[in-house]
Structure formats: C-alpha cells, structure tokens
Amino acid sequence: MNMDFNMYMNDIVSQARSEIREAGYTELTTPEAVDEYLNKEGTSLVMINSVCGCAGGIARPAAKHALNYDKLPDQLLTVFAGQDKEATEHVREKATDFLPSSPSFALFKDGKIVDMIERHEIEGHETMSVITNLQAWFEEHGKEI
C-alpha cells in the first residue's frame, strides 16, 4: 500500500479546520485578518489549532463544548499553527507574556491579551478540565447570550 504523505496530512488538516469552523469559530488565515478581528472592541477567544493528538482529542472538543454556556465572548476565532504561519505568529506577537504553544487558547479584550490556556494545560488533562477553564473565562469576561 502506497500512501502519499502530503495527501494524508491535507486530509487531517482539512478535518481539523472543519471541526472548529463547524463549532462556530471564524478562521483567520492572514495577519491582516488577525488585526481586523482583534482590533474590534469586546472579548475574543482565539483557539490556536494544530494537528497533534491533544488538539483533536482535547482542545477542539473543549472549544466546541465550552460554548454550551450562558455567557460567551463576542468573537470566536481560530488560527492554525504550522499551516497559517503568519497569522499564528501575529496572534503570538500580541501575547508576548506567553510562550508559543499549540494547541492553546488566548483570551483578548479590546485587542489586549487577558490570559492563555497553554498546551501544558491541555495535553494530559481531561477535556472537561479545559472546558471548565474556558467557561471560567466566559463567566468573568463574556456576555449573556
């Protein structure tokens, strides 16, 4: 059996992108799009997506299921580490107090970083633990829906 690695990876990336978009997140693929959305007033949750196992098994499910809550940020956004490199780097430039990691979540308010859930807080943890952390942000910084 001969499998084309690039075709295989494209399928994985496509599925990972689709999962987060279907959950309601807006995909940002350029630095300009990052600026356009993060410069808006209000709160923004940015999921820094990736193809690793903890992204697919923990982070993306948490990103989706955390939305079953009474309060939410104004915007749900995502960039894809390793794929949309310039957009991801631009988000990371806005969060210089945190080391780059993926998957991760960044909470912004009025374009300024508030907090991050980094990879070490996702990998090896239960999905529910990540959901609880996201919903704590929503409770403090979100708006009633």
Number of domains in the chain: 1
Between CA 134 and CA 72 the distance in angstroms is 10
Among 47, 54, 72, 113, the active-site one is 54
pLDDT, one tens digit per residue, over 46-78 is: 999 999 889 999 999 999 999 999 999 999 999
pLDDT at 5 over 80: no
Domain interval for residue 125: 1-144
Whether residue 54 lies in the annotated active site: yes
Mean pLDDT of 102-120: 97
Among 45, 52, 77, 117, the active-site one is 52
Q: State the CATH number of the domain containing residue 118.
A: 3.40.30.10
Asked if 117 contacts 105 with a C-beta cutoff of 8 angstroms, the reply is yes
The β-bridge partners of 44 are 75, 108
Would you say the C-alpha torsion 37, 38, 43, 45 has a positive or negative sign?
Answer: positive
Of the ranges 21-25, 49-53, 114-118, which one carries the lowest mean pLDDT score? Answer: 49-53
pLDDT at 86 over 90: yes
Whether residue 52 lies in the annotated active site: yes
- Res 4: pLDDT: 76
DSSP per-residue codes, 35-49: HHHHTSSSEEEEEEE
Stretch (H or E) spanning 71: strand 71-72
- Res 3: pLDDT: 63
